[in-house]
Chains A and B, each alone.
Chain A
Amino acid sequence: MSSYLPGTASLIEEIDKKLLVVLRDGRTLIGFLRSIDQFANLVLHRTIERIHVGKKYGDIERGIFIIRGENVVLLGEVNTENEANPALIKVPIDEILEMQREEQVQKQQEEELKKKALKERGLHLTDHSILDDYC
């Protein structure tokens, strides 16, 4: 990097590169960064959504995104050359979606069990659904 630019201006270096963006809701998007502004709002072009479950992943084509900056957790360039990571296995969309559903159901069940166990010990977990608006 030739010069350090404070704030979101440093993102100018990343323009037209292939970036991986993680959103606050946990989603992973990969696309070409075409534009930014002072709020770190992003324009992603030729975007795919990548879903990971364990060592498997699936890609869904999503096109152009205008992402509101506040929802971004992190972003970084992805290496296009050795993208084929042997540790990860690409599977069809249907398969990964099914795996994701199963994972969600399992997580929910675990949550319920945890809640129950804590309740028996006289502890009450706060209901996280009230935080839904900020997910």
Chain B
Amino acid sequence: MLPLSLLRTAVNHPMLVELKNGETYNGHLVSCDNWMNINLREVICTSRDGDRFWRMPECYVRGSTIKYLRIPDEVIDMVKEDVMQKSKGRGEVRGRGGRGGRGRGKENKRMKIVEIRM
């Protein structure tokens, strides 16, 4: 799972974003894109020295200005469940198909369709 995919699964979760200039933004992630540009809502901005605060209903952060993002622990658990479910699904297809499941592309897709019809 790529870092940006993890960020995508963190949509609607609270997070802390620190910019390169040291300012931090606490808020809920609304959306993000492949450049790490993000939209936050219900934001609290904290100055570099940590003694001034601003509240804003929403804000947009350009990806290139970000130093790091901190996301809640449960997001990784969500990813784990996701991966588990996917691999489980694949296992079933392989098992019932009675083949190695090593096939690629079209062959594999056709197999799946047949199984769904059954």
B1 at the interface (CB under 8 A from A): yes
Check B22–A25 contact: CB distance below 8 A: yes
Query: How many of chain A's residues have a CB under 8 angstroms from any CB in B?
Result: 23
A36 at the interface (CB under 8 A from B): yes
In chain B, positions 1-54 with a C-beta closer than 8 Å to chain A are: 1-4, 6-7, 20-22, 36, 48
B81 at the interface (CB under 8 A from A): no
B70 at the interface (CB under 8 A from A): yes
B72 at the interface (CB under 8 A from A): yes
A41 at the interface (CB under 8 A from B): yes
Closest B residue to A71 using CB positions: B67
How far apart sit A63 and B22, CA to CA, in the bound complex (Å)?
A: 19
Residues of B within 8 A of A119 (CB): none
Given contacts A42-B3, A43-B3, A132-B21, contact A68 B66 (CB under 8 A): yes
Check B3–A64 contact: CB distance below 8 A: no
How far apart sit A25 and B75, CA to CA, in the bound complex (Å)?
A: 27
How far apart sit A68 and B21, CA to CA, in the bound complex (Å)?
A: 14
In chain A, positions 16-36 with a C-beta closer than 8 Å to chain B are: 23-25, 34-36
Given contacts A37-B4, A41-B4, contact A66 B20 (CB under 8 A): no
How far apart sit A34 and B69, CA to CA, in the bound complex (Å)?
A: 15
Output the residue of B21, B63, B67, B76 with the most chain A CB within 10 A: B67
A134 at the interface (CB under 8 A from B): yes
Chain A residues in the interface with B (C-beta under 8 A): 23-25, 34-37, 41-43, 45, 62-68, 71, 132-135
Q: A35-B6, A37-B2, A66-B71 are in contact. List 5 more A-B contacts (CB 8 A).
A: A62-B70, A63-B71, A63-B72, A67-B68, A71-B68
